[in-house]
Amino acid sequence: MNKVLYVPAHFQALPGKAADAWSKKKSPKQSDSLVDGERLSRDIAAAVETLNAQGYEVQSIMPITSGKYDFATMHGSGSMFESGGYGYGYSFTQGVTIIARRIGGNLPAKVEEDAEELNPLPLFDQDSEI
């Protein structure tokens, strides 16, 4: 049997001075582009440890990426030299999907064969506990 688990990434907390530099109305506490890699590593390690304790062996860990972009155009009075624009985009790791396979003889052989043939993969959303 296989099990699929999603581990979400979290953005880095902004240092106090950087957060205070914003206006009082908009004071972000977290970055919108820098993933907290250390926390993600700890979360992955905890998920793998839990899967191993449940009798699963990790087969693969796949990153899930997302992105953000923005652009603007400026139009002048009609001259080719008075118009232009800009654009940018970037991607970041939104989380990882862990695929694990049950090891050991916990299931009867016939049930295990049927399970491998159907290959059910229970999906967990980011709010589920590991």
Q: Per residue in 29-88, pLDDT tens?
A: 888 778 999 999 999 999 999 999 999 999 999 999 999 899 888 776 666 566 778 888
How would you list the strands of the sheet with 56-74, edge to edge? Answer: 2-8, 84-102, 56-74
Percent of the chain at pLDDT exceeding 70: 64
Q: What is the pTM of this model?
A: 0.64
Integer Cα distance of 12 and 29 in angstroms: 9
Q: What is the pLDDT of residue 125?
A: 44
Residue 118, H or E segment? helix 109-118
Confidence (pLDDT) at 119: 44
Q: What is the mean pLDDT of the chain?
A: 77
